[in-house]
Amino acid sequence: MAIQLRTYAKPALNLQRQLCLLQNNGLIVPNPDRALHYLRFIGYYRPSRYFPPFQKNTDNQFNKDASFDHILNLYIFDRQLHLLVMDTVERVEVAVRTSISNTMSEQHGPHWYLDADLF
């Protein structure tokens, strides 16, 4: 079965044109230099995941009070939350893994993990 590929016809836009596109769609950009900085270092795609709640409909027009700063703050909050969750998950993972390893080592010797009968 052949995979049908869709043709991607959108042209690449430089940073200034990306910013203009956002502004033309009604996004308030209080500090264009700051917006360009973030577009340069995090790209257009990452903050675009946060656009829909600030948009009127499917034609990409933003609500009248939508601003780049609101969207950026959501992105930053989400990133910080992600880092906190991943840090916590990693700590729990290490604690559980260590507890299992210590218990199994005491009961079955230091190479317990090589014994297929234990799994």
Q: Is 33 exposed, middle or buried (0-12, 13-18, 19+ CB in 10 A)?
A: exposed
pTM (two decimals): 0.76
Contact 35, 19 (CB under 8 A): yes
pLDDT digits over 12-65, tens only?
999 999 999 999 999 999 999 999 999 999 999 999 999 999 999 878 999 999
pLDDT digits over 54-112, tens only?
999 878 999 999 999 999 999 999 999 999 999 999 999 999 999 999 999 999 999 99
Dihedral (Cα; 51, 53, 59, 60), 10-degree rounding: -20
**Domain locations along the chain:** 15-106
